[in-house]
Amino acid sequence: MRLSFLPALAMATALSGCLQDLYTDSGFTNVTSTGSVTERLGQQGIASVIDADGDGFAYSSGTESGGGLRAVAGFTNPSDIGLRPVTSVGRYTGRYELIEVYDIDLRGGFISGSQDQVSGSIVLNADFSTGTLTGRAGELSVSGRALGSQLTGGVQYRGVSGDLRGVLGDDKAIGAFHGNDADLIYAGGFLTYRD
């Protein structure tokens, strides 16, 4: 599995007469099988977790043109991850990573924040009959719902709710997520394999 890392970074961008929460944002982006993201941000750092099949996720944070701080994440177009079963349960284990921008401050026409990368192991539990995928690792909780192999739902990180997209198959569960408020922005993903 190829891993790339983001250095710690303090970001600042010029703003004029605005409220802090209007200039913090997060979203989804497209990701190539090599882990490149299509959305370009200023002062951008990119990290990815991609396996030998080209499956995985990537995420990035930086400054938006016109001012503001933004974090984005997306997942690759998956290889053959197997059809999602329609009965029984399954357990998926693997890795999650995210970037968080915190200590966000608007002062003197500038918005700034500190940035850290968070990662670790995660266990996700699937109930195939109800199409749910749930789990928790550290301060991250995942609550997904699958329709066919397409995964949607929500996440929560440090008390801030966010959105989830991904895929759930017989062999793998892959997801990307993001969330933000005036004081915290985050984006990341998970790559897990069925036990």
pLDDT for the residue 22: 65
CATH number, domain containing residue 71: 2.40.160.90
Beta carbons of 194 and 123 less than 8 angstroms apart: no
pLDDT at 148 over 60: yes
pLDDT for the residue 10: 45
Mean pLDDT of the chain: 85
Q: What is the pTM of this model?
A: 0.88
pLDDT at 9 over 80: no
pLDDT at 84 over 90: no
How far is residue 112's CA from residue 15's CA, in Å, rounded to a whole number? 10
pLDDT in tens, 16-75: 334 555 678 999 999 988 888 877 777 667 899 999 999 999 999 888 776 788 899 999
Say if strands 9-14 and 110-127 run parallel, antiparallel, or are unpaired: antiparallel
How far is residue 9's CA from residue 6's CA, in Å, rounded to a whole number? 8
Q: Please state, for a pLDDT cut of 70, what percent of the chain lies above it.
A: 87
pLDDT at 12 over 60: no
How far is residue 173's CA from residue 84's CA, in Å, rounded to a whole number? 10
How far is residue 128's CA from residue 95's CA, in Å, rounded to a whole number? 21
How many domains is the chain built from?
1
pLDDT for the residue 81: 85
Question: Which one has a higher pLDDT value, 188 or 10?
Answer: 188
pLDDT at 6 over 70: no
pLDDT for the residue 64: 79
Q: Provide the domain limits for residue 162.
A: 2-194
How far is residue 169's CA from residue 193's CA, in Å, rounded to a whole number? 9
As a whole number, mean pLDDT of residues 174-187 equals: 95
The first and second tokens of residue 186, run together, are 């985050």
